[in-house]
Structure 1
Amino acid sequence: MILPTLAQRLRAGNTVLSSWSCIPEALTVEAISRLGFEAITLDMQHGGHSDDSVIRSLGAVNRRICHPVVRIPVGRFDMASRALDFGAEAVIAPMINNVEDARAFARATKYPPLGQRSWGPVFAMPRADASDGQEWLEQQNHETISYAMIETREAYEAVDEILAVEGIDGVFVGPADFSIAWSSGRKLDPSLDDMMEAIELIATKAINAGKLAALYCPDPREVGKYHRMGYRFFALGSDFGYLARGAESFIATAHGSIR
């Protein structure tokens, strides 16, 4: 059975919940990708993932049950191409603050004539059970997702121009950095009330442009709020958080049984 790609699911309006991987170990990624999330995002910006861990970890993800995504480091557009060649279905680029950043990102993630991504899906094609290179070339510009992160005031002010760049498939809001920018460095609060109208407007602009809206959501109780705004791809917490909450629950249950 041919399963829908991440792009097909999101463009159909489906909600996708992604886990977030910071630990650069393929066995850990494999385990997390089997927990029930629809996607897993490997974080190279603040997480520990490197070129080496990404290529190995993407091979550990079963694409029939979990969509592989990579967040590259700031400005590493070469890694955007490599992540796709390694088998990622989507790439998230942080600190896309203006149209020049967006164009550079799009050039790296899309094949000509849309971009300048060079040919070399040595890992991506077999990992996707694909064998026809011509078919791959014709489909990939549409079937891979380029998410530009909106997390500064500069990016917010330029969001219309960023969304207008051909090859940018959607925007991804980082609410922690956005709260710092929105409060001029005074607050770190991913749930900051003052910025909610702006975060909703970003989603509205993306939808009106025919593009996708995604968001990092550290508190799963807030997914519904952002879903009503129009967001459909949610990255939830991180592997460190899953370990901490699981251990906390087990320890509390054990102590409770003694009492």
Structure 2
Amino acid sequence: MTETNNLADKLRSGKPVITGWSVLCVPMIAEMMARGGYEAVTIDLQHGMYDFASACEALAATALGGAHRIARVPVGDNALAGRLADMGAECLIAPMINSKEEATRFARAVKYPPVGDRSWSPFRAAMLNGQTQEAYRQIANAQTLSLAMIETQDAIDALDEILSVPELDGVFVGPSDLSLSLSNGAGLDPNGEATAKVCAAIADKAVKAGKIAGVFCMNAGKVREAIGQGFSLITHGIDRSFVGDAIDEAQREVEEATSGSPR
């Protein structure tokens, strides 16, 4: 991470950054995603299989592959957010942020005083950035990003207050949980028109507030839509799905090749 080529400046400029999403707890896959062209890779400790140790390995593998390093923490685990920042995560995503108070506690966990409450020990983060610890200290608050996930009706109701938190760098929309909340549990509709309309409104408010807007997209068409809505951090592609799709395709190929063969 240099002063002219860091994730924070890219996202604040509005330049779209596409991140792959890793849940399988195989650091080499995170590296493969980085080498395969993803500008960033997100390590998922909420719904993924990663723990702290394997996430540290995946962050290093992502750096080795040449991509930016993002991590999503479990619900309410602000202490882990700070630890992952120490281990080199350039951006932390916190799920189920539903109030100004929750957003403030999370954001302050990844910022040093006087902005936040993060404790000092970024030896690994500085190493992965190719910096001295003092050089890292000078840029850490500006370049270590905190994104609060907006994925419930409560979060939408509190959005203006959440966006008013000065320590918070932006928001990240989870359309699956958002659609579940908007329908009062009636069903999932992450790609539906009603969900898209709410996502667009969230992005608009975030950008007008001077914050970064991110979103999880289920297909390439939604990526195009998200860019048009003003989102700059966009997820598309999960390692679990890549493996599952490849297995299905291999099976189809074998079935087609052996159809009608004598037994």
TM-score category, normalised to shorter length: over 0.9
**Aligned Cα RMSD in Å?**
1.8
Residue in 1 that maps onto 2:8: 7
Secondary structure of the residue aligned to 1:61 is helix
Secondary structure of the residue aligned to 1:171 is strand
Secondary structure of the residue aligned to 1:178 is helix
Query: 1:211 and 1:46 mapped to 2: Cα distance?
Result: 25
Query: 1:249 and 1:34 mapped to 2: Cα distance?
Result: 23
Residue in 2 that maps onto 1:47: 48
Unaligned runs of 5+ in 1: none
Residue in 2 that maps onto 1:119: 120
Secondary structure of the residue aligned to 2:35 is coil
Q: How much has 1:249 moved relative to structure 2?
A: 3.6
Do the aligned residues in 2 keep the contact of 1:19 with 1:41 (CA within 8 Å)? Answer: yes
Q: How much has 1:87 moved relative to structure 2?
A: 0.3
Query: 2:125 and 2:206 mapped to 1: Cα distance?
Result: 28
What aligned pairs does 1:1-259 form with structure 2 within 5 A after superposition? 2=2, 4-62=5-63, 65-131=66-132, 133-253=133-253
Query: 2:246 and 2:7 mapped to 1: Cα distance?
Result: 28
Q: How much has 1:63 moved relative to structure 2?
A: 5.8
Do the aligned residues in 2 keep the contact of 1:146 with 1:169 (CA within 8 Å)? Answer: yes
Secondary structure of the residue aligned to 1:213 is strand
Q: Deviations over 1:97-129 (max 9, x none)?
A: 001101100110111111010110021111110
Secondary structure of the residue aligned to 2:63 is coil
1:214 maps to amino acid: G
Q: How much has 1:218 moved relative to structure 2?
A: 1.7
Query: What number of residue pairs does the alignment pair up?
Result: 258
Distance change (3 Å), C-alpha of 1:34 and 1:64: closer
Query: 1:144 and 1:9 mapped to 2: Cα distance?
Result: 13
2:82 maps to amino acid: S
1:119 maps to amino acid: W
Secondary structure of the residue aligned to 1:70 is strand
Unaligned runs of 5+ in 2: none
Query: 1:4 and 1:249 mapped to 2: Cα distance?
Result: 38
Q: How much has 1:256 moved relative to structure 2?
A: 5.0
Secondary structure of the residue aligned to 2:29 is helix
So what's the TM-score if we normalise by structure 2?
0.92
Q: How much has 1:36 moved relative to structure 2?
A: 1.2
Return 3-12 or 176-185, whichever deviates more: 3-12
Secondary structure of the residue aligned to 1:234 is strand
Q: How much has 1:258 moved relative to structure 2?
A: 6.3
Query: 1:48 and 1:106 mapped to 2: Cα distance?
Result: 24
Q: Deviations over 1:146-193 (max 9, x none)?
A: 000000001001111111101110100000000000001101111122
Return 95-104 or 1-10, whichever deviates more: 1-10
Distance change (3 Å), C-alpha of 1:16 and 1:63: farther
Do the aligned residues in 1 keep the contact of 2:189 with 2:195 (CA within 8 Å)? Answer: no
Query: 1:196 and 1:20 mapped to 2: Cα distance?
Result: 21
Query: 1:33 and 1:238 mapped to 2: Cα distance?
Result: 13
Do the aligned residues in 2 keep the contact of 1:180 with 1:186 (CA within 8 Å)? Answer: yes
Query: 1:5 and 1:249 mapped to 2: Cα distance?
Result: 37
Do the aligned residues in 2 keep the contact of 1:63 with 1:128 (CA within 8 Å)? Answer: no
Secondary structure of the residue aligned to 1:33 is helix
Query: 2:64 and 2:204 mapped to 1: Cα distance?
Result: 30
Return 54-63 or 110-119, whichever deviates more: 54-63
Secondary structure of the residue aligned to 2:113 is coil
Q: How much has 1:217 moved relative to structure 2?
A: 0.9
So what's the TM-score if we normalise by structure 1?
0.94
Query: 1:66 and 1:96 mapped to 2: Cα distance?
Result: 27
